[in-house]
Structure formats: C-alpha cells, structure tokens
C-alpha cells in the first residue's frame, strides 16, 4: 500500500476526493482492504452536515492482515460496513454497536468510498464474499439489506401480517422486499407523490400502492375490517409519514422507524400520545453491525432469496466521481436510488 490513498467526502452539499495519508500502523486485529466497489444511497447526496466520508458499504480484497486475525487471509474477497464498531466500549457491550463510541477513533469522518480501507477488529467487521455474489450485490448486504431486514425483525411479524411501508426510497423499497421475504400477508406501499418508487413498489413485493392518502386510508381500513395495520415501517423520515403510520396502525401493533423526522409539530406529539394509549410499540432501528449479520444477508443474496439489483440506478467509476456526483444531487430531476462506485 502506498503512503497515501484517495477517499470521497461531502461537506455542505459539495463533493470532493481527498488524499489521505497512511495514518497508522497495522495493529494485530486490523486488516487493510483494497476496495473494488462501494455503494452510495440517495440520502447521502443531499447532506448539509459538516465534512463526512461518503458510502455506507463496500467490498474488496484483503491486502494486509494483522497477526492475530485468523479467519481471513491476504487475497480474501470481503464485504464490510463503513461503521466498524470496537465491540469493547460501553455501548457496544450493551448491544448498541451501531452507536459505538470509538468508531470515529478508527475512522475519522466515516464513509468507505476510498481506494483502501483500514478495518479495525477485522474478525468482527468483515464477512467473506461468496464467489457467486457479484461486487454490486455484495455491497447491499452489510447496510441497506441489513438495516431493512432488521426493521422487519423488530416488527416481529406473525406470518400473514398486514404491513404498511411509508417512504419509498432505497430503504423503503428494500423493506418491502424484506417484509415479503418474511411472509407478510399483504403489503401496502405508502407514498404521496407519483414517483418512480411507487411503480417500483409492486416489483419489490407490495400488493397495493395508492398515491392519494385519503383513498389509501379507506383501502387499508376496508381491507383490515377497520382495525388497521399490524405493523407500519416508516422509512420516510418525515413527520407526515410518521403521522400516517400512527393513524393506520392497529391497537397493540408496531411502528418501526428507519429514519427520524427532522421536525415535529403539535399534531405529531398528540398522535404520539394517542399511539401510547393504543399500546402501539414505536421503535427506531439502526443498521446492525458485525460479520455474523453480514454473512446472513449475503446468504439471502447468494441463494437468490432477494435481488436488490433493481435499486442500482447509477454506476460511476471512482475516477469520475468528483464530476459525476454534483449532477445527481437533490436538485437534479434525475431519479436516484443508489450509485454503485467501481474502482
């Protein structure tokens, strides 16, 4: 590995590729991976955050390995999530590894669209990429698929449940596919605009996608004999999306949020109280981490249980990324789910 390598960053809606120095020596539990492909989701194209690395998940080949890593060797094809917990800090020990307090010690600014990645705790943070799984599909396993499947796991759906998914970006569409895989009985796709996603929803497994909210309310109440949904998964990140989920979920049902509303108003707060009185269980979901989890997601892809390839709307070579990304930002009319970056 050379003294420096290049990595993609965003800062207040601008994108840049920066030269990063080889900032630390390889420790016994570390590995270095030469990245082959990485995935960028639509949500990352419109971040007003201070500087942060781009990319949620990637795959590549191990080029260096610490002396205490026994499950992997140089040359192995692996996948990983940009978030690489320590599994030692208090939050990791309490089961909240996606909130690891020390991940920024290892990976300042996060992200994984880089020529090389240092992997701390390689045994826990890498999973082997099966030979039959392409780089494109492998990149979906450790983040987009893992988080969406976790949302369905948290909803604890009995077979045949009636489910609504609000907000149909890449997470919403993947969540519909995961609900389908988990034997949901009927899936309503819930979005208010005539977007590409509305048409995609049926291909991902939704049974009904009605654009008009009042027609949707009537259809759901009609289908459920006026009791409402067994579970709602809110991937919208908006107060309106969460309000609709609360209004449509039955007594004792579940609401799982994959994104947090950026604003709340009095009506939402009232509805939250109403949800409490209906004993509706509202939970947030973060992307679960770890080799065990990534391997299970890769198995779903390897065995053709799920095919995320329809979510890859764009591809770009790393060398062209700096010019390409500004053409895809939130102001463009272009329809973006995910961008696959190839090296």
Binding positions for Zn ion, rule: CB under 5 A: 85-86, 89, 92, 100, 102
User: Which letter does DSSP use for residue 66 in this model?
Assistant: -
How far, in Å, are 237, 325, 334 from residue 314 at the CA level?
23, 10, 10
H helices present in the chain, as ranges:
90-93, 103-106, 122-125, 135-138, 146-155, 170-181, 196-204, 213-223, 239-248, 266-277, 291-302, 321-324
Instruction: Confirm if 320 and 8 have CB atoms less than 8 A apart.
Output: no
Give least dist CB 139 to Zn ion, A. Answer: 24
Give whichever of 86 and 255 is closer to Zn ion, judged by the CB atom.
Answer: 86
Nearest C-alpha neighbor of 103 from the set 113, 92, 94: 92
**Whole-angstrom distance, CA of residue 38 vs CA of residue 233:** 26
Give least dist CB 296 to Zn ion, A. Answer: 21
Give whichever of 47 and 101 is closer to Zn ion, judged by the CB atom.
Answer: 101
HSE-CB of 129 using CA atoms within 13 angstroms: 29
Give whichever of 53 and 85 is closer to Zn ion, judged by the CB atom.
Answer: 85
What are the φ/ψ torsions at residue 280 (nearest 5 degrees)?
Answer: -85, 130
Give least dist CB 99 to Zn ion, A. Answer: 8
Cα angle: 125, vertex 308, 206; to 5 degrees? 125
Give least dist CB 121 to Zn ion, A. Answer: 9
Give whichever of 42 and 98 is closer to Zn ion, judged by the CB atom.
Answer: 98
Residues in the chain: 343
Give least dist CB 292 to Zn ion, A. Answer: 16
In this structure, the dihedral spanned by the alpha carbons of residues 156, 161, 162 and 165, taken in order and rounded to 10 degrees, is 30
Give least dist CB 24 to Zn ion, A. Answer: 18
252 membership: H or E segment, kind and range: strand 249-257
Give whichever of 60 and 85 is closer to Zn ion, judged by the CB atom.
Answer: 85
Give whichever of 83 and 338 is closer to Zn ion, judged by the CB atom.
Answer: 83
Give least dist CB 104 to Zn ion, A. Answer: 10
282 membership: H or E segment, kind and range: strand 281-284
Give least dist CB 75 to Zn ion, A. Answer: 29
Give whichever of 86 and 325 is closer to Zn ion, judged by the CB atom.
Answer: 86
Nearest C-alpha neighbor of 157 from the set 192, 139, 181: 181
Give whichever of 41 and 120 is closer to Zn ion, judged by the CB atom.
Answer: 120
Instruction: Confirm if 29 and 121 have CB atoms less than 8 A apart.
Output: yes
Give whichever of 86 and 306 is closer to Zn ion, judged by the CB atom.
Answer: 86
Give least dist CB 96 to Zn ion, A. Answer: 9
């Amino acid at each position: 590995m050379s003294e420096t390598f290049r990595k993609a960053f965003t800062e207040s809606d601008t994108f840049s590729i920066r030269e990063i120095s080889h900032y630390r020596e390889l420790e016994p539990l570390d590995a270095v991976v030469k990245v082959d492909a990485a995935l960028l989701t639509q949500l990352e194209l419109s971040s007003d955050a201070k500087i942060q690395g781009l990319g949620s998940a990637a795959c590549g080949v191990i080029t260096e390995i610490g002396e205490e890593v026994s499950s992997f060797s140089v040359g192995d094809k692996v996948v990983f999530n940009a978030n690489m917990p320590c599994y030692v800090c208090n939050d990791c020990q309490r089961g909240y590894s996606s909130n690891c307090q020390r991940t920024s010690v290892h990976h300042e600014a996060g992200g994984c669209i880089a020529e090389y990645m240092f992997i701390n705790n390689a045994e826990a943070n890498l999973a082997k990429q099966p030979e039959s799984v392409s780089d494109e599909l492998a990149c979906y396993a450790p983040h987009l698929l893992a988080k969406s499947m976790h949302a369905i796991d948290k909803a604890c759906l009995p077979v045949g449940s009636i489910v609504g998914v609000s907000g149909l970006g890449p997470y919403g569409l993947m969540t519909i596919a995961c609900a389908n895989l988990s034997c949901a009985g009927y899936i309503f796709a819930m979005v208010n605009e005539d977007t590409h996603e509305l048409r995609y929803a049926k291909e991902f497994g939704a049974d009904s996608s009605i654009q008009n909210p009042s027609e949707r309310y009537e259809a759901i109440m009609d289908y459920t004999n006026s009791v409402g949904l067994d579970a709602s998964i809110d991937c919208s990140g908006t107060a309106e999306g969460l309000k609709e989920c609360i209004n449509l979920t039955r007594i004792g049902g579940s609401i799982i949020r994959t994104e947090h509303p950026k604003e709340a108003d009095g009506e939402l707060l009232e509805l939250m109280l109403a949800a409490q009185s209906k004993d509706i269980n509202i939970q947030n979901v973060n992307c679960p981490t770890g080799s065990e989890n990534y391997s299970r997601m890769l198995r779903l892809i390897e065995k053709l249980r799920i095919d995320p390839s329809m979510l890859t709307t764009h591809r770009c070579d790393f060398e062209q990324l700096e010019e390409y990304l500004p053409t895809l930002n939130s102001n463009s009319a272009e329809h973006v789910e995910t961008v696959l970056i190839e090296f």
